[in-house]
Structure 1
Amino acid sequence: MVITNPRNIAILLLALIFSFSARGQVAEAEADLRRIMDEMDVVGMSVAVVKDDKIIYSNALGLQDVERNAPLKEEHIFRIASISKSFSATSVMQLVEAGKLSLSDDMSDLVGFRVRNPKYPEKVITLKMALSHTSSINDSEGYFNLDVINPAKNPDWAKCYNDYEPGKGYEYCNLNFNMIGTIIEKKSGERFDQYVKQHILNPLGLYGGYWVESLDSTRFATLYAYDPATKEYTPSPSAYAPRREEIQNYVMGYSAPIFSPTGGMKMSATDLAKYMLMHMNDGAYNGVRIISKKSAKRMQKKVAENGYGLAIDNVENLIPGKTMRGHTGTAYGLYSAMFFHPKEKFGIVVLTNGSNTPAEEEPNQVIVATVNSLYNHLIKQQ
């Protein structure tokens, strides 16, 4: 076919120019990602970038498994650590909308034992406080089961509380969300992992979950913990421990910490990006509404003074000049991030399975470098 119309020729030329420009930006982005991986000794990295209502870029670089020299692929799934908290909070908002919960509910009534800071025994600790880490509860006694804070089970239960009044301070606390997992079970009648699968993952068409044995283990990205003293990486098999015996003895409404509502979701970067699009678009994605616009806004609204909402953080130290919403994750050698800008309608997901960057930094160096690289090459230049 010969194109002779000048207008059509101009449109075709513009399309070709745009295509070449976009390819150039992608090539530059990938080159920069490899530079970051070399500088920070990253084992593997899976990323996804969204703009408006679609994923505009995704890629997997490096290794899934060092011992087998197996390359990382986009379909590989990671334990995403604390980004998991937003799935728990989303579940809570669904139950709030169904009239089964209220954010002002007393945590004591919800979990079935007394949840009170002994220094402020008359002050009610609410579900909202637990969701926003303003409950005055801490992880000093651990958080892998509810016995640590149950006065009938642990004589040192009082150590689980800080000195400040509930609602008047902030401390990030995993125990908050492991308790929330049990509340979801009590109010829904479904096991925690199954509730999330049936009410969030399946409706959105996402592959993942909290229950290890429900997933294809060949798709797990091995997580590697870095030892700065020896400069060596060690695999972290406990990240995907099946915990069969604990599950066999499961007690509904008490054993949810086995699945780690606070950090146990396993998912790929591309599926996590689709989930992020749901939050970026106020509770709906691809024609499926998961929570109401009001609930989505409520999750994103700042509660704590540092900007934390209901398992969605508001951060200003990630991309200069941008207030981003989302969450990070750090566990077993993994560093992860899921952040979006609700007004400019872009977002970035990063999952890494090993890096030499200091674990105590928040957000981690490899996350900051990767997010800014993807933003500068694929969002800012558009």
Structure 2
Amino acid sequence: MRKRREGAPFVDRRGFLAGGLACATPGVALARTSATDALDRFVTGEMAQAGIPGLALGLARNGAVRLARGYGFADLERRRRATVDTLFHIASVTKVVTATAVMRLAEAGRLDLDGPVAPHLDFPLANPAHPDRPITFRQLLSHTSSLSDARYYEIDFRVLGADAPKPLGEMLRGYLTPGGAHYSPKRCFSAAAPGEAWDYCNVGYGLLGYLAGRIGGEDMRERTQREIFDRLGAGGVAWRLADAPERLRATPYDLVDGKRVATAPVGLPDWPAGNLRASIAGFTRFVAACANDGATADGVRILGAETMAEMRRPAKPPSLPTWLSGQALGWMESPLAGRPLLNHWGGDPGVFTAAYVDPASRLGVAIFTNLSAVDPARAAIKAIAARLLELPPPPS
């Protein structure tokens, strides 16, 4: 299940490796040089230590993709290599895309970030312990809405091997409204009032995607595809498993008794929180714009500079865990090599991903893998991200 502590030192379940990594697949931006050869050796070494079957990475600078590379295997059994076009399930990194879609609506004057969300819904929404305290868009974006995933993790809404048939709205009504199939006043909402405590919430991001669809008059998946990814020229993005060709998908691998075991891909009814699949070639274009004040080097703008700055501005809400140094709108902030950086991590069975943006240097990084989140994989991703961002290596 998607972990609530994506930036924290977490272990999924089990542990280790079986070796035999392929050499890197040449990327889209840089020819082979001594620097890229050194990077390839570094990345494959980190993968070998962590037992990561396949990995793809992208680096953007000043709004342009500077490097995109694939390493290892998208599918071990078929010996199918990971490439820049391999579709990885990016899990909760999806949330920064959902947040961007909401910020686009705010920028267009379609919603007020500090306004209540309830008037935009077709079902009632209120924390039963604080019925007079409205839940706002900003609170949902910053995980301070008082919605809770406690009940969510008890149910496990995932569907193995297929897209979830339950519509997003039906899932939300069943979870958030009295009398709903999964409603619990003390498990679906926290004791804190809206705005008073940080509590990472997948359901909150599912709700944001549903709101974006109602306010925008169109399913958020279609709108983001057309207005963000198509405009960026970011091919290789699929919101639905059915739209991700099997020949391009990275097979997810879990660790069972120390061995890598292929596991079924998952479909999620709360797709705005973590269902996106993307290639590194395409997604790095999105990261490039996020790190470059909302625009790519060739002038494609996904958000205005002021809106992007607001989205990336970290705050320190009450109850923020110690492994975070800040929470922005969608993006989180945590230390990398001793320096606070905006990022988001994602994890599901057989999936571990990360994206970093550094507005000061206009650098952005995305790293996708097809192994469950275990400590060695987490250490490898952090080390690779630090290398790409030209930061000192983390202490051994």
* TM-score, structure 2 normalization: 0.79
Residue 252 of structure 2 aligns with which residue?
223
Question: 1:179 corresponds to which letter in structure 2?
Answer: L
> Secondary structure of 1:335's partner?
strand
Residue correspondences, number:
336
Name the amino acid aligned to 2:211.
Answer: I
Counterpart residue number, 2:387: 373
SS of 1:323 mapped into structure 2: strand
Shift of 1:356: 7.2
User: Closer, same or farther in 2 for the Cα pair 1:141/1:221, shift >3 Å?
Assistant: same
CA distance in 2, matches of 1:72, 1:38: 15
SS in 1 for 2:361: coil
* Distance in 2 of aligned mates of 1:312 and 1:75: 25
Residue segments in structure 1 that go unaligned for 5+ positions in a row: 1-21, 242-256
Question: How many angstroms apart in 2 are the aligned matches of 1:138 and 1:373?
Answer: 36
In our comparison, the structure showing a higher alpha carbon Rg is 1
Q: 2:61 & 2:364 partners in 1: Cα distance?
A: 7
1:333-366: CA deviation from partner (whole Å, max 9, x where unpaired): 211111021111222211111167249x9xx222
Residue of structure 2 equivalent to 1:3 = none
- Compute the displacement of 1:376 (Å): 4.2
For residues 297-312 of structure 1, the aligned pairs below 5 Å read 297-305=309-317, 306=320, 307-312=326-331
Note if contact 1:106-1:125 (Cα within 8 Å) is conserved in structure 2: yes
Write the distance in 2 (CA, Å) between the matches of 1:97 and 1:353: 35
More displaced stretch, 28-37 vs 106-115: 106-115
Match of 1:184 in 2: 212
The match for 1:288 is 300
Structure 1 residue 378: deviation in Å? 11
Any idea what SS the aligned residue of 1:88 has? helix
Could you tell me how far apart the structure 2 residues matched to 1:142 and 1:331 are?
Answer: 15
Q: Does the C-alpha gap of structure 1 residues 332 and 32 become closer, same or farther in structure 2, counting only changes over 3 Å?
A: same
Q: Which of the numbers 151, 157, 162 marks the counterpart of 2:190?
A: 162
The more displaced of 283-292 and 207-216 is: 207-216
Mapping for residues 89-168 of structure 1, pairs under 5 Å? 89-142=99-152, 144=157, 145-146=171-172, 147-154=174-181, 155-168=183-196
TM-score for the superposition, normalised by structure 1? 0.82
Please state whether the residue corresponding to 2:177 is helix, strand or coil. coil
Cα deviation digits, residues 183-210 of structure 1 (max 9, x gap): 1111112122111111111111112031
SS in 2 for 1:218: helix
Amino acid at match of 1:287: G
Q: Is the 8 A contact 2:251 2:265 kept in 1?
A: no
1:288/1:374 CA distance change after superposition, 3 Å: closer
Look up the match of 2:24.
none
Decide whether aligned partners of structure 1 residues 112 and 152 sit closer, same or farther in structure 2, where only a CA change above 3 A counts.
farther
* Distance in 1 (alpha carbons) for counterparts of 2:206 and 2:302: 22
> How large is the RMSD of aligned CA atoms in angstroms?
2.4
- Where 1:167 maps in the other structure, the secondary structure is coil
Give, in angstroms, the shift of residue 226 of structure 1: 1.7
**Worse-superposed segment, 82-91 or 141-150:** 141-150
- The answer for the alignment partner of 1:353 in structure 2 is 370
Find the residue that maps to 2:111 and give its secondary structure: coil
Q: 2:347–2:373: 8 Å Cα contact kept in structure 1? A: no
Cα deviation for residue 104 of structure 1 reads 1.9
Which of the numbers 88, 92, 100 marks the counterpart of 1:78? 88
On the 8 A contact 2:293/2:304 being kept in 1, the answer is: yes
Equivalent position of 2:264 in the other structure = 237
Match of 2:275? 264
Identity %: 24
Q: Which region of structure 1 is more displaced relative to structure 2, 197-206 or 297-306? A: 297-306
